[in-house]
Amino acid sequence: MLGSAWYPEQWPETRWDADLALMQQGGFKMVRIGEFAWSSLEPSEGKFDLDWMERAISAAAAHGIVTIIGTPTDAPPAWLTSKYPETLRVAEGGQRMEHGMRRQFSYSSAKYRELCRLMVEQLAKRFGHNPNVIAWQIDNEYTEDSFDDESRGLWHRWLEAKYGSLGQLNQQWMTAYWSQTYSAWDQIPMNTGRNNPGLLLDYKRFVTDEWRGFQKNQLDVLRRYVEPRQLITTNLGGLGWANRFNRRVIAGDLDIIGWDPYVGQGHFDYQRIGATHDLVRGWRRQNFWVLEMQPGFVDWAGVSNSLNKGETRAMMWNAVGHGADCVSFWQWRAGLNGQEQYHGVLVGADGQPVPMYDEIAQAGAEFAKVGAAIAGTSPEAQVAILHDYDSRWSIDFHKQTNRWDNVDVLMSYYRPLHDLAQSVDIVDPTFSLDRYKLVVAPGLIVMSPELAKHLTDYVEQGGHLVLGPRSGMMNEFNALNPERQPGPLVAALGGRVEQFYALLEDAPVAGKWGNGSATIWAERLSTKTADAEVVMRYGKSNGWLDGEPAAITRKIGRGTITYAGALFDARLTRAMTASLLEASGVAPAPLAVPEGVEVCRRIGGGRTVFIVLNFSNADQAIALPRAMRDLLAGGETSRVVLPRYGVAVLSENGGAQ
């Protein structure tokens, strides 16, 4: 499904039909409306005007276009923030926000939630049975927390509900350190600076619960009034990897998840954004929607350059390859005024298509051509990477080295896994892992006894688990595990970390996986059982690491647990990955392709569809292992030739005609 954000309230109604005709001509099947329209929907308190929205939905339907309604709560109207200033967000430094932007509300404000609920109730009653409305988007890109007094009081009550007593909190946070011991709940600070690690981790969990409550406030209204066929979603921005709160928790309450894969400055990194698609898909273990994609460029980057010709179309197909069932653009037409005047669009301020329109229309025609073959399919993987918000937060609070970046570390594993296996899931560590032959856990620093048992059970039943450096250092309260690393997994591993080192210079390392370097971080390991095997050792380095184990492995039950105590250079990481994939029995990649060519596979309904994309700088010829149907070009082929940004969609069993 191809769509776009459309703002009919910003344009004369006499213009609507011309816009919608251009959408229909370009293959657009969906519009998102309403998410910034509160002042048009409720011009004054209690005075609602929804007729224009109904006319807009009907006008779109006349052109074969369905509608997603966005609840308008990301941009409260001026009458609201003027009459109820207590609804305004307060920054950490104490400054109360003013009107004129968006997202100036406090997500904790009971009054704001009440007004949101009343607005959403009006919309849900009016459009909850409209046959042309297919979904609801709650709010828009949840982002900012608030440090107002109401939020602070809720934070204290949240802590009291979790710990029950100050004695328990003081014990788990070890507040005797620096005389932090609390004798009253309201003594506990609420900030994001360098503070007690237990406080910082709990604050992130509190923020997650507040956003979940903010969402549930509207979700409950929608569930009450709208038909089940109208799906409920939200769009999570922040380039996917944002971790202001736990997005997996937020996604769990919705019918389908949406996100916004903006590039910003530079060009499309098909593996990094592809990994983010896999992350988003992993939040609910189901396909997702891309609710905002940039049509060429943005207006907020350091250099808001345009993507190259053909790059946006390839980006669209990359999303589909990783599980997107909808690709929607922000936005359709340039606003004459407002804070995002320069942002890329499909139609200019004059109402005429810009050059990008033709590229998107080409993809729209392709979506229509192959949609039946892709419908009901999704990516499947034998390999998973574990992504844990608690662990990311814990490391970010105290990196020990500014060279460590959590996403870069995850990507150092993802890139070779994706190249060699061509399908990778990124999932929460608490999820069932039975479907995977190989599970890789980079930087899983927070390790509770329950999580350790879950991972041990996976290994004993035949799984192969690889732990990266820093694993198991902390417990669920962000306190050091007394067993040292990997904490409650020491017994299963048959070894432990004796000491960790943030590296200024790389350290040589060699062994079963080859020769190379440890970079950024290295841990000195030891074995504690006779059946724990040393896989890699350090060479001459800082004296502490010289000759010591860098990676160890052990068989337990029907599987293996491996601990890699260092971040290795890219070449060695690839060699390690290849060895682990083979040892785990992961099936080889189905299509052999040169560097810079991506293969995505979607499976379902007795069909297997390959989406092949060329992100290299040259034409690429790909020999297929057997004849396949070319769903874009038509006919059968055993070889495809792709120019830069070229796309092939192939079915090995015919696909839908």
pLDDT over 60 (residue 386):
yes
Is the pLDDT at 654 greater than 70, yes or no?
A: no
Check whether 657 has a pLDDT greater than 60: no
Mean pLDDT to the nearest integer, 598-606 = 96
* Pair 236, 142: CB distance under 8 Å: yes
Q: Among 99-103, 149-153, 199-203, name the one with the lowest average pLDDT.
A: 99-103
Q: Is the pLDDT of residue 239 over 80?
A: no
From residue 425, give the alpha-carbon distance in Å to each of 378, 414, 435, 547: 11, 10, 11, 35
Q: Which of 234-243, 478-487, 559-568 has the lowest mean pLDDT?
A: 234-243
Lowest average pLDDT, out of 223-232, 347-356, 612-621, 645-654, goes to 645-654
Q: H or E element: which one contains 449?
A: helix 449-460
Q: Mean per-residue pLDDT for 212-228? A: 98
**Is residue 656 very low, low, confident or very high in pLDDT (cuts 50, 70, 90)?**
very low
Residue 642 pLDDT > 50: yes
Looking at residues 525-534, what average pLDDT do you find?
A: 98
At 411-466, the pLDDT tens digits run: 999 999 999 999 999 999 999 999 999 999 999 999 999 999 999 999 999 999 99
CA distances for 639 relative to 369, 498, 592, 612, angstroms: 21, 53, 12, 12
Query: How far apart are alpha carbons 160 and 162 in whole angstroms?
Result: 5
pLDDT-based confidence at residue 238 (cuts at 50, 70, 90): low
For residue 201, pLDDT beyond 60: yes
Residue 197 φ/ψ region, left for φ over 0, alpha for ψ in the -120 to 50 degree band, beta for the rest: alpha
Asked if residue 617 has pLDDT above 70, the reply is: yes
483: Cβ contacts below 8 Å, ≥ 6 apart? 472, 490, 496
Please list the residues that pair with 555 across neighbouring strands.
Answer: 560
Average pLDDT, stretch 309-318? 98
- The mean pLDDT value of the chain amounts to 96
Can you list the domains of the chain with their CATH numbers? 2-142+230-374 (3.20.20.80), 383-584 (3.40.50.880), 597-651 (2.60.40.1180)
User: How far is Cα 175 from Cα 181, in angstroms, rounded to an integer?
Assistant: 5
Query: What pLDDT shows up at residue 520?
Result: 98
**pLDDT confidence of residue 357:** 98
State pTM to two decimals. Answer: 0.96
**DSSP state for residue 388 in the 8-state scheme:** -
